[in-house]
Amino acid sequence: RSRAGLEAEVGRPLRTTVHVEPNRHVPNVQDSIFKFDYDGLSVQMRKPGPGGEMFEYVAVTQRKWLNFPFFKPGVSAENVIKAIGEPQRREGNNLVYTCGGGEVENPVVFETKEGEVERIVFNYYVD
């Protein structure tokens, strides 16, 4: 739930980048965007103005960061569909599954290339 919690759980990132952008809702307020890159894992967090930190997405390119070994980079898109069904939508070669079951969408995207999963992106609702 925070940068400190992320570092405590997965260690220090190999690279950290930070930039600011205008808040989408409050004039004259800047949001800080933090991106943490690890070997096979990228995490982006947003800190809106004086507010708390929120995850925007986690992108995985190596199996070591996943609890479920089947859903790993390199598995065929066909096998993902066999295991969890047709995605709610497709965006190009990407399989997009809607998660959360609430009023907002928290899609998990299996990014594929040549029929194999290259990257899995877990998106979190931030508004």
Q: Which burial class, exposed, middle or buried, applies to 83 when counting CB atoms under 10 A from its CB (0-12, 13-18, 19+)?
A: exposed
Q: What is the 3-state secondary structure (H, E, C) of 72-87?
A: CCCCEHHHHHHHHCCC
CB neighbour list of residue 114: distance below 8 Å, 6 or more residues apart:
none
Distance CA 89, CA 74 (A): 21
How many CB atoms lie under 10 A from the CB of residue 51? 12
At residue 38, the pLDDT reads 97
Q: Is the pLDDT of residue 19 over 70?
A: yes
> Mean per-residue pLDDT for 29-40?
96
Most confident option among 44-48, 67-71, 102-106: 44-48
Distance CA 107, CA 88 (A): 9
Predicted TM-score (pTM) of the model is 0.87
Strand partners of residue 38: 41
Q: 56-72, pLDDT tens digit by residue?
A: 999 999 988 887 766 77
